[in-house]
């Protein structure tokens, strides 16, 4: 057994993390645990980074089952073997920003190393099943999830959606942690004050909002994936995704997908995607470039889910 008295052990992404860096977004484990899945530690990576990036031109370096990257004025990060994240903070770096990269890019790379597909989006529990909302940055994924939460549904994940396959090849979504990242405009639409919340980055109006009471820690079967797309349209629309478009959508919205070929995992990703697609429905959600459309999209989504359940 591992004694947690003098260590920091958290639950996140379905894994136990032992960390010497505070990760307040995650759920602390106060009881003894028998196994740690991931170690997060501080260490000086400057010499190692200089060796792999001698020309000072690379942002990411991938060697075998190790990913290294540098964020200027913040830290050097190393992700190894799907079980270790090492952070080398730079002088004066903001802890909030370092944590963003630990829980974002580092976890995305680590999940790929662990052969878990990390979709880029938000996942919500609806009627005992998981529904994933993916899309490019700024498409409105988190805002749509927040609108569903307002209707009484629960958050499973925001930003990174870990998708695993069960022994009988059924896709499941593993909950990440009880926080959402929302723009100030969205918070205003939902009547949520930004008082007491810090922006994710300086001069940015996006905030990390805790949603403990609206979060579920239960792993749920993935029933559908919705790709959110902004166009010049005047209203909202939903279309069924079919054929190769389904493969393209999953690959395009796999978090940090550029690492997949560099880790030599293209075949794995294709095979896992095929298994997932055999079990889920997929749609494209089309919304205008401007305006608040989350409530209209919620109506479309719930109507579609109710029709599926009646079939």
Please state, rounded to an integer, the average pLDDT across all residues of the chain.
91
Whole-model pTM: value is: 0.92
Cα dihedral 66, 259, 254, 233 sign: positive
* Same domain flag for 280 and 146: yes
Q: Flag whether pLDDT at 5 surpasses 70.
A: no
Residue 105 to residue 103: CA distance in whole angstroms = 7
* Same domain flag for 100 and 141: no
Residue 210 three-state SS: strand
- At 100, list the tokens: 């963003």
* Same domain flag for 265 and 175: yes
Q: Is 250 exposed, middle or buried (0-12, 13-18, 19+ CB in 10 A)?
A: buried
Helix, strand and coil content of the chain, in percent to the nearest 5, comes to 30, 35, 35
Domain boundary among 81, 113, 145: 113
* Same domain flag for 86 and 165: no
* Same domain flag for 193 and 287: yes
- 2 inside domain: no
Q: Which residues have C-beta within 8 Å of that of residue 145, sequence separation ≥ 6?
A: 122, 123, 124, 133, 155, 158, 180
Q: Flag whether pLDDT at 14 surpasses 50.
A: yes
- 124 inside domain: yes
Residue 196 to residue 128: CA distance in whole angstroms = 33
Q: What is the pLDDT of residues 246-269, one digit of tens each?
A: 999 999 999 999 999 999 999 999
Place of tokens 């109507």: 303
Residue 226 to residue 282: CA distance in whole angstroms = 6
- What is the average pLDDT across 19-43? 89
**Cα distances (angstroms) measured from residue 208 to each of 50, 188, 211, 214, 235:** 33, 14, 10, 14, 29
pLDDT band at 290 (very low <50, low <70, confident <90, very high): confident
Q: What is the pLDDT of residues 32-82, one digit of tens each?
A: 777 899 999 999 999 999 888 666 666 899 988 899 999 999 999 999 999
* Same domain flag for 183 and 79: no
- What is the average pLDDT across 165-192? 91
Residue 152 to residue 2: CA distance in whole angstroms = 37
* Same domain flag for 152 and 54: no
The domain spanning residue 225 has which CATH number? Answer: 3.40.50.300
Q: Which residues pair with 163 in a beta bridge?
A: 117, 173
* Same domain flag for 245 and 220: yes
State how many domains the chain has.
Answer: 2
Domain boundary among 113, 130, 152: 113
- At 111, list the tokens: 């999940």
Domain boundary among 62, 97, 113: 113
- At 49, list the tokens: 């980074």
pLDDT at 2: 38
For 20, half-sphere exposure in the C-beta direction (CA atoms, 13 angstrom radius) is: 9
Residue 309 to residue 211: CA distance in whole angstroms = 28
Angle CA 62–160–220, to nearest 5:
125
Structural domain for 45, as ranges? 8-113
* Same domain flag for 46 and 174: no
Angle CA 272–180–128, to nearest 5:
55
Q: What is the pLDDT of residues 79-104, one digit of tens each?
A: 999 999 999 999 999 898 999 999 99
């Amino acid at each position: 057994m591992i004694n947690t008295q003098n260590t920091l052990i958290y639950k996140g992404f379905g894994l136990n993390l032992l960390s010497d860096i505070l990760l307040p977004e995650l759920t602390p484990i106060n009881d003894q645990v028998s196994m740690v899945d991931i170690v997060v530690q501080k260490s000086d990576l400057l010499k190692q980074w200089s060796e792999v990036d001698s020309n000072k031109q690379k942002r990411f370096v991938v060697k075998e089952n190790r990913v290294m990257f540098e964020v200027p004025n913040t830290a050097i990060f190393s992700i190894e073997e799907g079980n270790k994240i090492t952070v080398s903070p730079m002088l004066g770096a903001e802890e909030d920003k370092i944590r963003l990269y630990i829980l974002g890019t580092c976890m995305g790379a680590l999940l790929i190393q662990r052969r878990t597909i990390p979709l880029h989006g938000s996942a919500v529990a609806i009627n005992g099943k998981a529904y994933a909302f993916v899309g490019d940055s700024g498409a409105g994924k988190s805002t749509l999830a927040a609108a569903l939460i307002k209707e009484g549904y629960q958050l499973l994940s925001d930003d990174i959606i870990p998708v695993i396959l069960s022994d009988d090849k059924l896709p499941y979504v593993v909950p990440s942690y009880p926080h959402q990242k929302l723009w100030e405009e969205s918070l205003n639409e939902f009547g949520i004050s930004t008082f007491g919340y810090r922006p994710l980055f300086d001069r940015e109006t996006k905030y990390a909002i805790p949603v403990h009471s609206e979060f579920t820690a239960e792993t749920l079967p993935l029933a559908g994936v919705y790709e959110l797309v902004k166009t010049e349209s005047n209203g909202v629309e939903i279309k069924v995704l079919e054929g190769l478009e389904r493969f393209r959508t999953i690959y395009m919205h796999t978090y940090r997908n550029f690492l997949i070929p560099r880790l030599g995992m293209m075949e794995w990703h294709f095979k896992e995607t095929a298994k997932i697609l055999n079990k889920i429905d997929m749609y494209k959600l089309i919304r205008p470039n401007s305006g608040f459309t989350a409530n209209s999209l919620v109506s479309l989504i719930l109507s579609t889910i109710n029709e599926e359940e009646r079939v």
